[in-house]
Structure 1
């Protein structure tokens, strides 16, 4: 159903695996596969960079307009039709589009569902060929998966991923893997998986917390946080990071690498974008002559250069 997403995601992962395999000369290395996952995330996030910037600009404009919106809501409390008309007029005056605030998230959701699905598919492909990832009760070997392909990856590529280990932990294994699955890896113990997975889970949780904290700090500066937003902020600060740790025990190490990579990119991207927007605002403020009416754009709106008179 979503093959139009799965194949491109798989293709990007395949590309980076080939690149790092050529550089290292070790295509079966866990480090090579881990780097492939990391750069898959970075590539997808780079593709979605512009939509993210538009989303941030739209959100900042909306925050700036909150006092005016509240005034309109109070003024036309009993007239929903008039309120809607005035809201539309206000949004038009400031080039605000609610769709721009939602569209980037709508774009990102299927992309990352595709990324998660492709990584999980390395394990799921084993179901048809009796790899013990989905059938732990049968006495099978990981080598039995050698005749199953996965989107852009050949059967041998899939086997390479299933055999890959990072510091002794298979990328396709998880902390909650049944004992029968661990036996299929040979000398792998649950402790070896825990020693790799738990630091990744903690790092991802900490990155989630600080990314949320940075975003919330900018909301508080505007003084426009409503009760619903306050609840979501608390969830983002504490519940989501805890959820990452709890959920981390039930996903392969490769997915944990995805979580860490994605959170690191988000934190850096957020800092860069908000910093650039703040610099644009300072530049626009400097260009305003003393004593003249302010024509600076709203926070998040791109400053426009005045046309020279001929």
Structure 2
């Protein structure tokens, strides 16, 4: 964990130097709490490529669900063959069924590294690039009278610590649940709500919040700030992706189609549809064609051409002498 201790402490100290440079108290809880939030934003920005990969894999999982069901019907009697064929399907479609867990799994070491840095700072033991003075400030930093290194289990009966810890644990649990719920309710087609992939999503939906709620009672306030901020980032990032690039056949896809239709109609990009029920809309005729059809100007002729045309209309007019 030492490399992670150095990386986490380096980012924390960098953000702390920035906040103190703009006038915040170096020993205050606000500067260290904002440093934790800044650390979270840097880490989540670095994980954006992984998040994009997760979204693509999740979409592929949704699109191949009909094929997975066909395999289940065909090889349902042979569990081993079903597993082999299913994994072959995942490989051919470039799908990783566990990709949705990767962002969480990769954040766990960072999470525990921050936990270790906070715990050591509470004991005034520096880790990574933090100096003894930094560790002392970090360990004694208070936000609204609540030490960032304290947790619910070691609150000492302080009402302020208990209140903030409970609030942050509930916020962390709720944002974890809502993030997963958002994915299932908005960006999963109806035929993907059953089968092994749906079971995996439901497991994440209900199990993860419980795990974090139970573990959250032992997390320091600073760690709860990190995880809640990370969840809020995930919610916003996922909302943006689902809204602007939804999977086909999902409620989010239908909602985007309606928005695009309304936007096109607002800008006059849709043809008029004043037709009776059951009738096809007549093709729109360009305005230039309508004008030319209403009035056609005769071609201009010279005097000699008009004279020849008049002679042709007279009986025997041409070639007579």
TM over 0.5: yes
Contact conserved, 1:29 with 1:165, CA < 8 A, in 2?
yes
Q: Which residue of 2 aligns with 1:112?
A: 108
Q: Does 1:175 align with 2:175?
A: no
1:263 corresponds to which of 231, 242, 257: 231
3-state DSSP of counterpart to 1:41: helix
* Pairing 1:20-39 to 2, within 5 Å after superposition: 20-39=19-38
Deviations 1:2-37 (A, max 9, x none): 333332232222211111121124111111111111
3-state DSSP of counterpart to 2:149: coil
Alpha-carbon distance change, 211 to 249 in structure 1, aligned in 2, over 3 angstroms: same
Alpha-carbon distance change, 109 to 152 in structure 1, aligned in 2, over 3 angstroms: farther
Name the TM-score, length of structure 1 as normaliser: 0.69
3-state DSSP of counterpart to 1:152: coil
Q: Which residue of 2 aligns with 1:203?
A: 171
- The CA distance in 2 between the partners of 1:120 and 1:48, in whole Å, is 22
Alpha-carbon distance change, 105 to 10 in structure 1, aligned in 2, over 3 angstroms: farther
Let me know the Cα RMSD of the aligned residues.
3.4
Larger RCO: 1 or 2 (CA < 8 Å, sep 6+): 1
Q: Does 1:163 align with 2:162?
A: no
- The CA distance in 1 between the partners of 2:98 and 2:208, in whole Å, is 21
Q: Which residue of 1 aligns with 2:7?
A: 8
- The CA distance in 1 between the partners of 2:22 and 2:239, in whole Å, is 32
- The CA distance in 1 between the partners of 2:107 and 2:7, in whole Å, is 10
Contact conserved, 1:216 with 1:233, CA < 8 A, in 2?
yes
Deviations 1:132-173 (A, max 9, x none): xxxxxxxxxxxxx3xx32102111101011110011100011
1:212 to partner: Cα distance = 2.0
Alpha-carbon distance change, 15 to 66 in structure 1, aligned in 2, over 3 angstroms: same
Q: Which residue of 2 aligns with 1:55?
A: 54
Q: Does 1:274 align with 2:242?
A: yes
3-state DSSP of counterpart to 1:24: coil
- The CA distance in 2 between the partners of 1:91 and 1:178, in whole Å, is 50
How many residue pairs get matched? 252
1:192 to partner: Cα distance = 1.9
- The CA distance in 2 between the partners of 1:221 and 1:73, in whole Å, is 19
Contact conserved, 2:192 with 2:198, CA < 8 A, in 1?
no
Q: Gaps (5+ residues) in structure 2?
A: 262-321
